[in-house]
Chain A
């Protein structure tokens, strides 16, 4: 399927930012500027791929490669919209003063994070033919404060070279940030910081994957940003 195909209900569009961001010498302010620049230019990222998600397969990547597995992510995938599910009906009697009825249930950000991470691995394995046993998820047990990003990827066959836009050594570092609405500069900035901490002044490359729900199509966008030390 090409990027010009019509967008379908559970379609995913993948975009790739041209070039690399060299992280090592960026100051705190420059990281924020880069994040701001990414967010403002994200709609101009060139399309890379487009595919329809097989939700049965997605559920498996949720099981294997996400931070806090949530059962039934395949079902969430379709009905998850804007972080809120359908409203419950409100009683006609008004609630006591200063209180309101619990007429909406909010999904936590965990669900969007979950979908983002599952989609990222789905893309790598199903679309780029990466061996899934070469993908290491480093924080499935919430290893707080350790020096790490979300994923370490060994790719000796260089199947991701067209994304990285050149040769690179394994492991590749990857961080995933997800959102149900517009991506925020803060979230992108934190993703860059996470990769900067892990990569530092080494010759390693990293991949920041920004996953965003496209409200207008009920599909998802994956925006890839390549970084290096």
Chain B
């Protein structure tokens, strides 16, 4: 890592960490005023985040998707971009960042500990399908994360409303119906990107390993997590599920997504997708 990258990376991490503290304090202790400062930290952090992404791509010549740090940088980038997009349209939904910022922060921290430097690119990673595959994967991750964040916001508002409590922090949020629809919109967004990711991945696998699908653990995990979202769409469309149950489902579904993207090597040691482990071992 060059010193510019280090400076940007640590600046970004501290700014996201501080945003998390402000968000948590505001929501746990009902200190609405603190929320005003969050964008002042998030926006510069996001600019640094973007700069790291661009510098890394320019320096290595490849779409940065190699190793934990680069994956955290691009996955988190979409999550924060979509969060900022929602905030721009509805300031009241800032609570959503309480979900997306700390999770992005966790991955960035994990990545910077494991593989901050650029890894050598194997022939496998020099394909334009890689860019399509990873791009849509990370976009899907970002959208699902935002949906889960909106799910959390929904549950918080609903809990207060059920108890009959009125607090400006929650009153400023859009109505429960709107949050519910917005949450579903992000699920749809992620679901479509996820589908494109899986199709592009299988075309890439054909070029690389000779077959479109080989029941590799990462493939199975991605398919399963996509199916969970497909199932949730069915539950909404055909059985009329709304609101609370779906919000919980989207929060839990994130576990599957996180495992598919980062955690398969905790379960199996022999996936074709674990490029980093193979490169290092």
Asked if A pairs with B, the answer is no
B residues touching A (Cβ–Cβ < 8 Å)?
none
A residues touching B (Cβ–Cβ < 8 Å)?
none
